[in-house]
Amino acid sequence: MQIGFVGLGSMGRGIAMNLLRDGHELIAFDVSPTALDELVQAGARSADSPRQLAEQSEVVFTSLPTPAIVESVCWDEDGLAAGFSPGRTWFDLSTNSVQAVRRLHELLAAREVSFLDAPVSGGPTGAAKGRLAVWVGGSADSFAEFSPVLDVIGDQSRYVGPIGAGTISKLVHNMASTAIKAVIAEALTMGVKAGLDPLPLWSAIREGAAGRSRSFDNITRFLEGNLDSPSFRLELLRKDVDLALQVGHDAGVPMRLCRLVAEDITEALSLGWGGRDSQSIMELQLRRAGLASFALTKEELAEVTEPG
C-alpha cells in the first residue's frame, strides 16, 4: 500500500519507521531535510510538497505539533487538499482542536475525501515500538478499511465515534493525566516535607490501592452509578483527607488542589452522602454539568476492560 506521511518529529519518525518495517511503500514529507533524509535512507520516497505526497498516496497520515500547522499543511497552495483525488483518506494523528477537525472533515467531505481524527497516546518510546493507543473519530468504514495499518502504528487502535470523538478522548486523557500528576506532586511534597525520603515514599505508595491500578480502572462504581453500597465510605475518606491536610499544614506545604477536593467532600457530606461510597464525590460533577448517572453495566464495562 502506498502511504503518505507528513511530520517526522519525535512521534512521527517512529510511526513512519514502523510502517516501513511492515513493508508499506512510504512517501514522506517534512520541513526538516535531516528528518526526511533519515526516512529516505530507511527506504521511503520523499515528496517535494504535501500536495505531491497526496497525489501519490492511497492514504495519508499526519503527525504535526499544532492545529495551525495541520490547517496549513492542508490548505496551502501546495497542501494536501490540492493533491487529494476523490475517494482518498486522511488520518490526522496530531492532537488537534475539536473545531478544527470537524471543519476539516466537513470541507474535505465536499471533495469526497474522508478525514478522520486519530490522535495517539504513548509518547516517542511507544511510537518507536508500535505501542500506542490510537483513538479514531470519523467514518467507521474508513476505520475498518485501514485497521491493518492502524494496528502497525499502535497496539490499541479503537474506533470511538463520529468526527471529533478521537480528539475529545485524547484531550480528556491528557487533562486528567495532568491534573492527577499535579495532585500527586502536591501529596508527595507533603510527605517529603513531613520528613520522608522521596524514594522509599514513592516506592511505598505505588504499592497501595491507587498505585496498583491504572488511573481509569478504579472508578467502576462511579461509571455504574453503584454508590449506595460502599466499598469505602465517604465519611471515612473525609477523615483521611483531613488527616493528610493536617500533615501538610504542620509541614508548611501549600495544598491548594487537595483542599479543593476536601471542599467537594464537604459538599457531598452536606447532601447526606457520608454513608455512600467515596467515589460519590465524582457524582457532584455530573450534577454541575446537568448529567445523569452514566449507569453502565458490569457487562458493558467488561467488554472494554483490558488486562494490565
Positions marked active-site? 170
**Interaxial angle between packed helices 12-21 and 33-41, expressed in degrees from 0 to 180 and rounded to the nearest 10:** 20
SS3 207: coil
Report the C-alpha gap between 295 and 122 in whole angstroms.
Answer: 29
The residue whose grid cell reads 514513592 is 202
Helix, strand, coil percentages in the chain from 3-state DSSP, rounded to 5: 55, 15, 30
- List all residues 6 or more positions away from 55 whose beta carbon is below 8 Å from its beta carbon: 83, 85
Going by C-alpha positions, the residue among 21, 25, 31 that lies closest to residue 2 is 25
